[in-house]
Amino acid sequence: MSELILHHYDISPYAEKIRAILGYKRLAWRSVHIPIVMPKPDLTALTGGYRLTPVLQVGADIYCDTKVIARRLERERPEPSLHPRGTAALERAVSLWGEGIFLPLVTLGLASGVFPQEFIEDRKKMIPAGFDVEQARVLVPSRLDHIRANLDLLERQLSDERPFVLGDACSLADFSVYHPLWAMRRNLASGAFFEPLAHVRAWLDRIAAFGHGTPEETSSADAIRSARESGPTTGSVEDPADPSGRRVGDRVRIFPEAYGRDPVVGELVFADAHEIALRRHDERVGEVVVHFPKEGMVILPAP
């Protein structure tokens, strides 16, 4: 089985989503702790510029964004599945709803002074229009209403004693809803929200009980060495139904649509309806293939 390397930091909610999936699938993996703020020279050498957390590395194949990371882990160990009973479309809808709690949670963090100044200055650079801490404080009542409404819906959803969000079986929807609430529960300023929500608290404990699999600490230097010595395994696959007519060999650039818009440039090597992968070369890591979801990304021809 391929060696899995996760580039992450402890307090990242999105990293916790993937750590929990690794636990659910009982996978062994190597842990590389990356800086919370830029620069992240070893990470960006692997990704070509993408800076968001987490990133999964399998040899010289680099997976950016939790959507393609979850997809890769499902291929690595199909059982237990993240998509029981063909619920992938419903999982995606629930995931979008659950992850909608994340940005209000960030607003609360900014307003309450949870984040250090270097973190705030770094994140300002990630958002095209920036953000205003004073404005965040003004928005706190509205964000609290947003979070409370969503938690009430989740409590009602779980009130029939179902063990997981969609019923008897755990799915990707559980992990997508779990990770912002994991962060919220750890914060003294917002943790009190959960006191009256017995079903939500029991469900959070149930997901947490999966653990994180079997991590082993390693260095970013070892991760770079692994990429350089492995070479990518992704084969050339063209998407014949690509509505933009992209073809294997085209040079393209990709960046997240919402924030962290650092472009990655490379040669298209793989594409289907959900994923696109670029081959690129770096002096330190050699040839790598960097994978992205199509959803949530801007994909343009490279000059």
Give the confidence band of 292 by pLDDT, cuts at 50, 70, 90.
very high
In this structure, of 113-127, 142-156, 253-267, 278-292, the range with the lowest mean pLDDT score is 113-127
Q: pLDDT tens, 196-246?
A: 999 999 999 999 999 999 999 999 999 999 999 999 999 999 999 999 999
The confidence score (pLDDT) of residue 268 equals 98
- The CATH class, in words, for 84-206 is mainly alpha
Cis peptide before 80 (omega within 30 of 0): yes
Architecture of the domain delimited by 5-79+215-301: 3-Layer(aba) Sandwich (3.40)
The confidence score (pLDDT) of residue 155 equals 97
The confidence score (pLDDT) of residue 189 equals 63
* Higher pLDDT among residues 30 and 134, named by residue: 30
The confidence score (pLDDT) of residue 103 equals 79
User: What residues are paired with 288 via a beta bridge?
Assistant: 280
The structure's pTM equals 0.95
How buried is residue 128: exposed, middle or buried, by Cβ count under 10 Å (0-12/13-18/19+)?
exposed
* Higher pLDDT among residues 30 and 303, named by residue: 30
Q: pLDDT tens, 33-61?
A: 999 999 999 999 999 999 999 999 999 99
The answer, yes or no, to whether residue 122 has pLDDT greater than 90, is no
The confidence score (pLDDT) of residue 188 equals 60
The answer, yes or no, to whether residue 25 has pLDDT greater than 80, is yes
The confidence score (pLDDT) of residue 259 equals 80
The answer, yes or no, to whether residue 120 has pLDDT greater than 90, is no
Q: Where in the chain is the domain with CATH 1.20.1050.10?
A: 84-206
The answer, yes or no, to whether residue 1 has pLDDT greater than 60, is no
Please provide the average confidence, as pLDDT, over all residues in the chain.
Answer: 92
The answer, yes or no, to whether residue 127 has pLDDT greater than 80, is no
Q: Where in the chain is the domain with CATH 3.40.30.110?
A: 5-79+215-301
Q: pLDDT tens, 260-287?
A: 788 999 999 999 999 999 999 999 999 9
The confidence score (pLDDT) of residue 113 equals 74
Q: pLDDT tens, 81-109?
A: 999 988 889 999 999 998 788 878 877 77
